[in-house]
Amino acid sequence: MVLSIEKAIDMLQQIELYALACYHTTQGHIKAINQLETKEEIEAYNFKTGYPGKLSFFG
């Protein structure tokens, strides 16, 4: 695959923002889970919500 420098830099910036959004979501889940008190609450917690959609660079 051949990319222009500009396109590669743009992709890296998008990846950085995506990773940051994922990190913040994960930290929010950790905080929420740490505030739960019972095993049942923890097991019922949906940690898959809130993440950004997957990146798509081609098509």
Does pLDDT of 59 surpass 80? no
Rounded to whole angstroms, the Cα distance separating 59 from 54 reads 13
pLDDT digits (tens, 9 = 90+) for 14-54: 999 999 999 999 999 999 999 999 999 999 999 999 999 99
Question: pTM to 2 decimals?
Answer: 0.84
pLDDT value of residue 1: 81
Nearest to 48 by CA among 37, 32, 34, 59: 32
φ, ψ at 7 (rounded to 5°): -65, -40
pLDDT value of residue 41: 97
Spell out the long-range contacts of 26-32 with Cβ–Cβ below 8 A and sequence spacing 24 or more: none
Do 45 and 16 form a contact (C-beta atoms < 8 A)?
Answer: no
Chain position carrying tokens 């830099």: 9
pLDDT value of residue 58: 78
